[in-house]
Structure 1
């Protein structure tokens, strides 16, 4: 993957994270949105083309090539799968040169039965993510002329698994709760570091996977909003702030959640003891709620068409733009998936009302994470974990 593309995708991750409202748990992937914005920019004109290019961080004339480069690079990561799908009504006169630029895309038709159309798209989402995302995030209704979607699925196993056990905090927001904890001890002190950032001190713990995909756990000051913590983590990843590695941290409490002390041991080797929490998150994002972040302000204007490079007829505008996402972090490894979809509608005509699927997710666990491709430093998935997993005692333990 080109460095310019990786930096552009990570900038969009930072923009999105910075625009998140205060709240609970979420998971998102700019890497799943970026190639679709790139293909739309390639077919756009006027203000919509300029706004999409600004969101991408690249000239519109370079966007399609960069989108193909990104998807090809993602496909080379072991146990990472990508897919692109395009479905159109028979009334859409598609520009074949634009469609031919979609790499290995599924090309399909939307029929007259929208329930059957929805089943077709839902099945594609489930198949392309191995069941991790069971349904397409956009709803097909009579106004939908074209659906453009991308799927991304990532799996990795830890080089050094965690042990699972109980976690019973005595202070802080989890005090008095019986939770599931993950534990690991290593002699590699530099897996953890503390950086001074614009959001305050940030602790970064790297958990290495066997496919070249690592997860960086981020812990900031207790009252810091999730968007600020995630952006600080992205700044550390980009080298804007330098993290002091664990082996160079001073004694005491040099960072959030970090204690450095001298202890008696039977060996000469120092050690890093890690305690964290597993998580299983889902997110449902309406990208049209943040049009400035994704360059969609003009593209959402249905009074005119914005994508003459996509189709000769009818004129098209963006009617829906959504992402469904999930991530699981456990003792053995990490997996994440997203399906991002744009529903384009006929422009210059009255909009018809439609129903969209909404998922309400509310966890309560204050740390962020970035799933990072180790070589390119591309952020595949980012999220905020707000609710720990409760610990359940079985009957044998109680006896």
Structure 2
């Protein structure tokens, strides 16, 4: 799944938020019921043989359901006249299957209510709209929440350089003694500073600042590679004095009494949303062949010929002084076809500033699974 996150991030060109964790189970279940070229493409996107995909999807959904701070759900709705293969349907979680009626407005309201309830109101509507051609909807929903054990201080931030120069932004600041929370890694495209903001329930947010010339996908891809331990992150406590990474400086400061080393972090609050049409880049999600309505591609799901008519995701992310919230709903719809003191001592101060566009990964700490990812270009204004 993290591999899909990195591939998706590589297509990002501006501010966005997305969840491969919301897409992957749907692709895996589709792969299980697909045939021919569609089966091969979906298996490649999932990264598993198609005959193992459904089992992996069920295991993943069960694992996410047990993660503190994370709600996940799967939904399936079909027209009454669409026959389903019993072995495929029974492989879904219990109480998943609903019915689509001919009353499209009522059916849309039911799908929208499901999306809102499963995401604690973060996503108010199902990303796809029902129409007469939709005979089936397969959807996933994710909602995650974590709170910082130590809140940030809110303040005005007005960068003196970069894309946000001169803007009055809602800034966040916190100091601590854990120098290992910040570090620098050297990826294939340049240096990236990583800051881990730990949540109280095992979900952390990793902020990622790359060199100014780096693209969003290069920065986020380096963060994913660090999770896989393909590249090493050197903690700030092991780095020399000076400007040691993007937005990261280490210096020696005088103080009146002995003080422990200090990590001072300044970043910005953000509240962002995005909508993605997965069929705009079908190759990324293994859907190129499955979109061809001239033939059926999912005989393992239904004896009726089915092709993918719609596939979309809505996602949101909120990062503030008290914590982080994110939600995503993904759906695919198969269709037919003062006086100076005496400073005798010194201490080490690490300063990390995220005051230009940066990336983030919301990560389940134990498994290192990326639940949500994004690129921040429009932070919240200072009120």
TM (norm. structure 1) is 0.90
1:12 aligns with 2:4: yes
Q: Contact 1:83/1:104 (CA < 8 Å) preserved in 2?
A: no
Query: What CA distance in whole angstroms lies between the structure 2 residues aligned with 1:372 and 1:243?
Result: 16
Cα offsets for 1:208-248 (capped at 9, x unmatched): 00110000000001132111111111111111111110101
Q: Which residue of 2 aligns with 1:306?
A: 297
Query: What CA distance in whole angstroms lies between the structure 1 residues aligned with 2:200 and 2:379?
Result: 25
1:107 aligns with 2:97: yes
Query: What CA distance in whole angstroms lies between the structure 1 residues aligned with 2:309 and 2:258?
Result: 63
Cα offsets for 1:51-90 (capped at 9, x unmatched): 1001011000000110011111111111211111111112
SS in 2 for 1:390: coil
SS in 2 for 1:264: strand
1:243 aligns with 2:233: yes
Deviates more, 1:112-121 or 1:100-109: 100-109
Query: What CA distance in whole angstroms lies between the structure 1 residues aligned with 2:323 and 2:313?
Result: 23
SS in 2 for 1:164: strand
Q: Which residue of 2 aligns with 1:380?
A: 371
1:369 aligns with 2:355: no
Q: Determine which of 124, 128, 133 is the counterpart of 1:134.
A: 124
1:117 aligns with 2:107: yes
Cα offsets for 1:334-356 (capped at 9, x unmatched): 11110000011011xxxxxxxxx
Q: Contact 2:226/2:233 (CA < 8 Å) preserved in 1?
A: yes
Matches within 5 A, 1:39-188: 39-188=29-178
Q: Determine which of 22, 25, 42 is the counterpart of 2:15.
A: 25
SS in 1 for 2:298: coil
Query: What CA distance in whole angstroms lies between the structure 2 residues aligned with 1:53 and 1:31?
Result: 16
SS in 2 for 1:49: helix
SS in 2 for 1:291: coil
CA shift for structure 1 position 367: 0.3
Q: Which residue of 1 aligns with 2:253?
A: 263
Cα offsets for 1:219-278 (capped at 9, x unmatched): 001132111111111111111111110101111101000111000133330000000001
CA shift for structure 1 position 105: 4.4
Query: What CA distance in whole angstroms lies between the structure 1 residues aligned with 2:330 and 2:269?
Result: 25
Q: Contact 1:365/1:388 (CA < 8 Å) preserved in 2?
A: no
CA shift for structure 1 position 159: 2.1
Q: Contact 2:69/2:203 (CA < 8 Å) preserved in 1?
A: no
Q: Which residue of 2 aligns with 1:288?
A: 279
Query: What CA distance in whole angstroms lies between the structure 2 residues aligned with 1:209 and 1:105?
Result: 31
Q: Contact 2:162/2:356 (CA < 8 Å) preserved in 1?
A: no
CA shift for structure 1 position 104: 3.0
Cα offsets for 1:296-320 (capped at 9, x unmatched): 011001000001111122x100000
SS in 1 for 2:125: coil
Q: Determine which of 159, 176, 199 is the counterpart of 2:189.
A: 199
1:316 aligns with 2:306: yes
Q: Contact 1:74/1:81 (CA < 8 Å) preserved in 2?
A: yes
CA shift for structure 1 position 106: 2.6
Q: Which runs of 5+ in 2 are unaligned?
A: 338-354
CA shift for structure 1 position 163: 0.8
Q: Contact 1:316/1:346 (CA < 8 Å) preserved in 2?
A: yes
CA shift for structure 1 position 109: 1.0
